[in-house]
Amino acid sequence: MKLNDIKFTSIGKVADFATLQTTRLSETTLANTEAASNFLTDVADVFLFVSRIIKETFSRNFEFKEFFYQCFKIGYKTLPLISVTGAIMGLVLTVQSRPVLIDFGAVSMLPGMVIVSLIREMGPVITALICAGKIGSGMGAELGSMKVTEQIDAMEVSATNPMQFLVVTRVWAATLMIPLLVLYADAMGILGSWIGANIKGDVTFTLFFSQAFSHVDFIDLFPAVVKTFFFGAVIGLVGCYKGYNAGRGTESVGLAANSAVVLSSLLVIVVDMIAVQITDMLI
């Protein structure tokens, strides 16, 4: 083989390699562009979904009967789970904290520490996460199955507004009932804490209650209650959005329920982080 042939062969290999790298780079750029486009499309869809909910909320034909049914379904039927969760939170926190406080000679501060921890952080967040798993997945699966079986399309054909009947009622029911569930969980947590304090001690409920609330201020209660409304709104919005926009296949029902739980749980943590930062700025 001549020297010129070797040179041309080497140049051809380099050109082929450069073309291959350019093709791979173009495919990567195209994939990133498509992913960014899909993300922006999803964000726009969420904003349109929220705007439709706000618009339908203030319409004349609000479905009060369905709203009260969803309040009953979200609130009353979740009480057993919240009762057990709240009581265990208070009991475990008391049992785990008591030895440490005894070492520091501050066992008298146990009721105040437990109730402040429950009211400010543990009660709202853990209750919201439990509700995200139960309520958010239920909304996603229920609306997703209605989407798959074309019940939502049938409601539109029969001149029924599915957005108002199915979505608005559920979102507002979750927004209003989850704060009540959090307060109930806090009360059960106090009861569980009193039981935990009496496992290795002897304290009356009246004394325990007075010691606990002597450490609670308005700044502890108000921000904790306010952020629970946002927790409820996030759980309701995500669950309804994932279910209402589910695909046509039966597999999409499970995907809608699963993604509703994951996303709503993540957003609850994010909202809590933002609320904590705002509270620290205001104190």
203-215: burial string, b at 16+ Cβ within 10 Å, e else: eeeeebbebbeee
Domain range spanning residue 35? Answer: 1-58
Measuring CA to CA, which residue among 114, 88, 90 is closest to residue 100? 114
Residue 46 pLDDT level (bands cut at 50, 70, 90): confident
Helices 110-117 and 169-197, interaxial angle, to 10°? 170
* Euclidean distance between CA atoms 47 and 68, whole angstroms: 26
Higher local confidence (pLDDT), 116 or 248: 116
What is the DSSP-derived secondary structure letter of residue 282?
A: H
- Whether the CB-CB separation of 184 and 84 falls below 8 Å is answered with no
What number is the average pLDDT over the span 255-259?
88
* Percent of residues, the chain, with pLDDT higher than 90: 32
Residue 1 has pLDDT above 70, yes or no: no
Last residue of a domain, one of 11, 43, 58: 58
Measuring CA to CA, which residue among 52, 68, 62 is closest to residue 173? 68
- Whether the CB-CB separation of 221 and 119 falls below 8 Å is answered with yes
Residues 105 and 212 in one domain: yes
Residues 6+ apart with CB under 8 A from 88: 192
Instruction: Give the angle 90-182-115 at the CA atoms, nearest 5°.
Output: 35
* Euclidean distance between CA atoms 191 and 91, whole angstroms: 8
**pTM given for the model:** 0.83
> Tell me: the pLDDT tens digits for 117-152?
899 889 999 999 999 999 998 898 888 888 888 888
> Tell me: the pLDDT tens digits for 183-218?
999 999 999 999 988 887 788 888 888 888 887 888
Residues 36 and 172 in one domain: no
Residues 93 and 168 in one domain: yes
Q: For the chain, what is the domain count? A: 2
Residues 96 and 157 in one domain: yes
Last residue of a domain, one of 33, 58, 83: 58
Residue 7 pLDDT level (bands cut at 50, 70, 90): very low
Residues 198 and 104 in one domain: yes
Q: Two tokens at 139?
A: 């909304």
